[in-house]
């Protein structure tokens, strides 16, 4: 594509929706609220240093700031102006710091709005252990999973009505009169949609990821014994997709036992499923048995947080929101406004989200430089306060100092 923005070239998509990345891609960024400016400055330094060292100047990211959050609210009177959505679509790839959303009042979650409007249906959260990190479990090194969490349906679709509202009273009456369902008086009411199409595009992406990366299994996580027509359907539609589109590359756990004597045929990915409550125990007690997880939104939210707790906390948990047309990479934690401007908070989540972004655009060499340098920095005991207070003999450093320490340890 020849459309340029000053110095830099737009990323494009080919007919099969694969990225076409120039050596000078324009990538959007949202600084974020609260601690956002601190961790973004640290992340930008690390990303630019890694790209420069990996490619010797032949490749370079051209950053384009996007308006969102408190900064956009002050400038244009709204936290997510339409131009931001348009420019993310134009950039194709973007990265963002945390955005603040009031609890129980005010405007809707900006993160949820971004996912819904841009149809970023796959929330992808890889969780792995970096040697030296503190952990509450005995063997955190066994944790190495990637969670594919559906992003646009389930309870996070945000379809709900307040207790006592005319809409809630009307829906309560319809449920009672037409479906013989009685609710407690003055109930707040929410609707939980899960569709075949929404489920299968997520599961398709999860299975493809497992195949492309040589991973052994994909586990469908659900609460289908209770919510049979939503989460139970998620399970069934997932298996249906695997059988129709990946019959030559996937085998179910049931067929593995009944037809293959428990031995995985060469080149096959095992498709299995687990109840959400059981899976919560499994990721704590037997994490080595799972590699890729595909799940509805709420289940994926708490499972990915539980996994992150085993490997250093949310400060080391990266994430991405990916759709067919664009992707936004983000820190998975909140904006922590009480630490705003203190240069204190761990930038690891956003740095590792940047690694995911580099891998997404095919710049794996730069991503590997960062991961290796990050590991050496942690092993040297050079960490921010959240990790230092859990590690014996650690040297506590500021957010910006941690970033510089990572850069110093790049090969």
The answer to the question of whether 100 is labelled as a binding residue is yes
The answer to the question of whether 338 is labelled as a binding residue is yes
The answer to the question of whether 333 is labelled as a binding residue is yes
Q: 80-114 in b/e burial notation, b at 16+ Cβ within 10 A? A: bbeebbebbebbbbbbbbbbbbeeeeeeebbbbbb
Residue 382: its H or E element? strand 382-383
Catalytic residue, candidates 71, 223, 268, 344: 223
Beta strands of 91-216 (E only): which ranges? 93-96, 122-128, 144-150, 159-161, 189-191
The DSSP result for 316-369, as a single string, is G-EEEEE-SS-EEEEESS---GGGTTSS-S--HHHHHHHHHHHHHTT-HHHHHH
Structure tokens at 256: 């593995």
Structure tokens at 128: 């792995």
Active site residue 3: no
Active site residue 156: yes
Q: Are 320 and 327 in contact (CB under 8 A)?
A: yes
Strands 26-30 and 62-65: parallel
The answer to the question of whether 108 is labelled as a binding residue is no
Active site residue 301: yes
Burial of 18 from C-beta contacts in 10 A (0-12 / 13-18 / 19+): exposed
C-alpha 24/C-alpha 1 separation (Å) is 12
The answer to the question of whether 109 is labelled as a binding residue is yes
The answer to the question of whether 336 is labelled as a binding residue is yes
The answer to the question of whether 339 is labelled as a binding residue is yes
Catalytic residue, candidates 176, 186, 259, 277: 277
Catalytic residue, candidates 301, 343, 344, 386: 301
The answer to the question of whether 222 is labelled as a binding residue is no
| Residue that the structure tokens 């989200």 belong to | 353
Structure tokens at 141: 């090194």
Q: Are 219 and 279 in contact (CB under 8 A)?
A: yes
C-alpha 106/C-alpha 190 separation (Å) is 18
Alpha-carbon distances, residue 258 vs 21, 217, 263, 313 (angstroms): 45, 17, 10, 40
The answer to the question of whether 334 is labelled as a binding residue is yes
Query: Strand pairing partners for 44?
Result: none
Catalytic residue, candidates 121, 156, 239, 290: 156
The answer to the question of whether 398 is labelled as a binding residue is no
Burial of 213 from C-beta contacts in 10 A (0-12 / 13-18 / 19+): exposed
Alpha-carbon distances, residue 312 vs 259, 288, 292 (angstroms): 41, 18, 20
The answer to the question of whether 125 is labelled as a binding residue is yes
Active site residue 59: no
The answer to the question of whether 287 is labelled as a binding residue is no
Burial of 242 from C-beta contacts in 10 A (0-12 / 13-18 / 19+): buried
Binding residues for NADP(+): 100, 333-339, 346, 385, 389
Catalytic residues, by residue number, are: 156, 223, 277, 301
Binding residues: 100, 109, 111, 115, 125, 149, 301, 333-339, 346, 385, 389
Binding residues for D-threo-isocitrate: 109, 111, 115, 125, 149
Binding residues for Mg(2+): 301
């Amino acid at each position: 594509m020849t459309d340029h923005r000053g110095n830099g070239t737009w990323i494009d998509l080919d007919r099969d929706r694969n990225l076409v990345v120039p050596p000078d891609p324009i990538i959007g960024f949202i600084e974020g609220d609260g601690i956002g400016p601190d961790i973004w400055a640290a992340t930008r330094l690390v990303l630019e240093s890694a790209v420069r060292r990996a490619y010797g100047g032949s490749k370079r990211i051209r950053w384009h700031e996007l308006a969102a959050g408190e900064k956009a609210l002050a400038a244009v009177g709204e936290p997510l102006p339409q131009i931001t959505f348009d420019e993310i679509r134009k950039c194709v790839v973007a990265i963002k710091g945390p955005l603040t959303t009031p609890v129980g009042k005010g405007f809707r979650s900006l993160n949820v709005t971004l996912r819904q409007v841009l149809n970023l249906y796959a929330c992808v959260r890889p969780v792995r252990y970096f040697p030296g990190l503190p952990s509450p479990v005995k063997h955190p090194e066994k944790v190495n999973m990637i969670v594919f969490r559906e992003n646009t349906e389930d309870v996070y679709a945000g379809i709900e009505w307040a207790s006592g509202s005319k809409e809630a009273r009307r829906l309560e009456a319809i449920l009672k009169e037409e479906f013989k369902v009685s609710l407690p008086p003055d109930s707040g009411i929410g609707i939980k949609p899960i569709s075949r199409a929404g489920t299968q595009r997520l599961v398709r992406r999860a299975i493809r990821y497992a195949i492309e990366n040589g991973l052994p299994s994909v586990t469908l996580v659900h609460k289908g014994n209770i919510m049979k027509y939503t989460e139970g359907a998620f399970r069934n539609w997932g298996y249906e997709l695997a059988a129709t589109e990946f019959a030559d590359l996937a085998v179910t756990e049931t067929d593995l036992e009944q037809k293959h004597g428990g031995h995985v045929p060469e080149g096959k990915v095992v498709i299995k499923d687990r109840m959400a409550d059981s899976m919560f125990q499994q990721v704590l007690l037997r994490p080595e048995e799972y590699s890729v997880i595909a799940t509805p939104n709420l289940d994926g939210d708490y499972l990915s947080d539980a996994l992150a707790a085993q490997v250093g906390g949310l400060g080391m948990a990266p994430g991405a929101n990916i759709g067919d047309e664009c992707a936004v990479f983000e820190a998975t934690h909140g904006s922590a406004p009480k630490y705003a401007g203190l240069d204190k908070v761990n930038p690891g989540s956003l740095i590792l989200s940047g690694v995911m972004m580099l891998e997404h655009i095919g710049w794996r060499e730069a991503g590997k430089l960062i991961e290796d340098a990050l590991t050496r920095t942690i092993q040297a005991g050079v960490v921010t306060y959240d990790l230092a207070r859990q590690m014996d003999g650690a040297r506590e450093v500021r957010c910006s100092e941690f970033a510089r320490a990572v850069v110093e340890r790049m090969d």
